[in-house]
Amino acid sequence: IVTSSVSYCAPPIALLVQQFDLTYFAANSSIFFNISASSVDPNINATANLLVNIYGMQPVNISIDLCDQFGGALCPLPQYNFDGSEVLQLPSNLDVSSHVPGIAYKIPDLEAFAQLTLVDHESGEIKACVQSTLSNGWSTHQQGVVWATAGVALLALISAIIHSIRTPEALAPFRLVDLMSLYQVIGSSALLNLNYPVIYRSFASNFAWALGLVATGARSSIQQAINNMRHKTGGSIADANSGSAIDLVNRRFSPYNALLPAVSTEAVGTVRTLRNAGMLFLGGSTGSSPSSPLRYVKRDVATVTADSGNILQAGLPVYVNSLGVGTANGFMTVFFTVLFAALISGAALGLGYVALKLLRRKRTSYSQKLEDMEEYYPWFSRGWALRLVLISFLPVTVFAFYQWTLKDSWLSVLLSVITFLSIGSYLAYVTFRLVQMVRRDRPWTLYTHTPYIFPHGPLYIQYRHQRWYFFLFSFGAVFMRGLIIGPANSNGLAQVVLLLILELALLNATVFLKPHETRGGDVLAITLAVARVIGSGLLFAFVPKFEVKAIPRVAIGIIAAVLFSIMVIVMFFNILVNLGLKKAWRQ
């Protein structure tokens, strides 16, 4: 078990910490430490209190009177600069392993923390208080999962391109949009103002790239550029923490699961005192220990108390900061991702048109087909532009709406308004054209008129002509999800209730209208809608007002992660089917 983040739980008076890394090895009951700290306040006679909390259960509380250790050499506490690392064998009488449940070594994204406090004997004043979260090295956030989900999306994109060239009615392009929508729903499900278990938030962060959060990392060049832009245009919200976002999480929420005072002076006097522990080490060599396989880096140590103003609000702020993106940088990160995607798509479509022109010059048996493709290519390009807009609609809406609640950089707000209005206006224009055509003729015309099928078909061509308008339900759902995550972010319970109502409405519409051309399309849509309803219902366990204990919340988080994982697998096999493997197998 290792320390994963460190913060002060009281303003530092006697002890300044630059690095505080500990590793506990259960196999041989030893610890490795790599600490850089300074004792700066003279004449302190102190008691050290160590509190360890795992999943909010009864904490382990140990007190050591430093004046009783080493013949009083630590009384008063010497002014000392310590920078070193060492491996120590713990005394058998401490029996640390009996206080650590077996679950702590097995469950990913362990929710535990340790708190070390120094209290002055005479005044009872807290001289130092340091908190550190603990980790067992396992997590549901894995780069392999990120690359695997991106690989499935790439496969869906290739399939969509191939099939859209052959026929605009192909299902493969629609499955690409469905897959990205599923990814975005999973990622955005962790943006509500709720007390998420770390295991679910970590799982949801695997899909952050689908929300446009790809240029992440507090020290990345893009984030630094966004920070500079914000601060020069009126932005005052803090940048992403160079350490761990967990440092700034509300102590009532995961992974702390407790609202504790810095230390209970009454507890210091009543808990058992360990004498002659023989576990303190005041020497040590600088650098890292060759005995440890872990690498540690120095980081900024924040002070987080019940009254401090640097606590991150649950939901979107914690989610994006855990990725190394500041709260106020969320929209701009999405903006640049969408901008780059648009430029790459435009360049690819331009190169495709140039290649088509070059092939036309050569007289071959495919000349007539190439001529037809050249005629349809502008419509084909507009169709793919529409698909890009559909994929970008949810991330832009969610982060634009949230940006407006921050009142930060005026340039960020301006760009968010322009981007949202641009996407919204384009979708409104296409919708108006479709409604105009239907009113002038009849819905069936949309399915036979080529100038509409190629550029506007991505909205409606997968639906029966009697249900051509069903895409409006998706538009409304995206808009409402943005309102729920953005303006309604102050009340987690209201967010969950509204989200559940929204998903139930979509499920009912899908069940009763049965909009798709094929029965398989309806079955898939209903399956995904049921999964979203169940996932939304499970979020009630994370509402802070209900005060669900840590272990049940973790269990529910695992259920939600498994549910959405199954949906991703379902979509993967559906993409394989639409890729043409079923037909190839039959042949």
Return d(Cα 574, Cα 568) in angstroms, integer. 10
CA distances from 480 to 162, 327, 427, 503 (A): 34, 21, 16, 10
For 360-380, write each residue's pLDDT tens digit.
777 666 666 777 777 888 888
Q: Are 15 and 118 in contact (CB under 8 A)?
A: yes
Q: Which residue has the tokens 């502008």?
A: 378
Count, residues in the chain:
587
Residue 271 pLDDT more than 70?
A: no
Q: Are 531 and 523 in contact (CB under 8 A)?
A: no
Give the model's confidence band at 94: pLDDT under 50 very low, under 70 low, under 90 confident, else very high: low
Together in a domain, 177 and 54: no
The secondary structure of residue 372, as a DSSP letter, is: H
Give the model's confidence band at 585: pLDDT under 50 very low, under 70 low, under 90 confident, else very high: low
Q: What is the pLDDT of residue 128?
A: 82
Give the model's confidence band at 43: pLDDT under 50 very low, under 70 low, under 90 confident, else very high: confident
DSSP string over 327-341: GGGHHHHHHHHHHHH
Q: What is the pLDDT of residue 296?
A: 40
Could you tell me the two tokens for 29? 């009951």
The count of C-alpha atoms lying within 13 angstroms of the C-alpha of 347, restricted to the half-sphere facing its C-beta, is 6
Residue 584 pLDDT more than 80?
A: no
Average pLDDT of the chain is 83
Together in a domain, 77 and 150: no
Q: Are 24 and 105 in contact (CB under 8 A)?
A: no
Tell me the mean pLDDT in the region 414-430: 95
Give the model's confidence band at 277: pLDDT under 50 very low, under 70 low, under 90 confident, else very high: very low
End-of-domain residue from the set 88, 105, 138: 138
Residue 475 pLDDT more than 60?
A: yes
In a domain, 401, yes or no: yes
b/e map 353-368, b = 16+ CB within 10 Å: beeeeeeeeeeeeeee
Together in a domain, 208 and 127: no
Tell me the mean pLDDT in the region 34-53: 79
Together in a domain, 123 and 206: no
Tell me the mean pLDDT in the region 85-111: 77
pLDDT greater at residue 267 or residue 174 = 174
Tell me the mean pLDDT in the region 26-53: 79
Q: Are 247 and 113 in contact (CB under 8 A)?
A: no
Together in a domain, 439 and 571: yes
Count CB-CB contacts under 10 A for residue 526.
Answer: 15
In a domain, 148, yes or no: yes
Residue 154 pLDDT more than 90?
A: yes
Q: What is the pLDDT of residue 274?
A: 30
Together in a domain, 108 and 157: no
Tell me the mean pLDDT in the region 530-543: 95
Q: What is the pLDDT of residue 86?
A: 75
How many domains does the chain contain in total? 2
DSSP string over 426-439: HHHHHHHHHHHHHH
pLDDT greater at residue 307 or residue 140 = 140
Q: Which domain holds residue 134?
A: 2-138
The percent of residues in the chain predicted with pLDDT above 90, rounded, is: 44
Could you tell me the two tokens for 46? 């102190």
Give the model's confidence band at 203: pLDDT under 50 very low, under 70 low, under 90 confident, else very high: very high
Together in a domain, 98 and 156: no
Tell me the mean pLDDT in the region 143-168: 91
In a domain, 284, yes or no: no
Residue 10 pLDDT more than 60?
A: yes
Q: What is the pLDDT of residue 397?
A: 96
Q: Which residue has the tokens 């949202």?
A: 420
Together in a domain, 119 and 72: yes
Range of weakest confidence among 25-29, 66-70, 513-517: 66-70
In a domain, 239, yes or no: no
Highest mean pLDDT out of 162-166, 404-408, 502-506: 502-506
Report how many helices (DSSP H) and strands (DSSP E) the chain contains, helices first.
Answer: 15, 9
Beta strands in 181-281 (DSSP E): none
Cα 126 to chain centroid distance, Å, stands at: 36
Together in a domain, 112 and 148: no
Q: What is the pLDDT of residue 288?
A: 36
For 310-366, write each residue's pLDDT tens digit.
788 888 999 998 898 988 999 999 999 999 999 999 999 999 888 888 877 776 666
User: Where is 64: in which H helix or E strand?
Assistant: strand 60-65
Residue 498 pLDDT more than 90?
A: yes
Together in a domain, 407 and 456: yes
Q: Are 541 and 522 in contact (CB under 8 A)?
A: no
Tell me the mean pLDDT in the region 174-182: 95
Q: Are 373 and 357 in contact (CB under 8 A)?
A: no
CA distances from 519 to 28, 262, 510, 523 (A): 60, 60, 12, 6
In a domain, 555, yes or no: yes
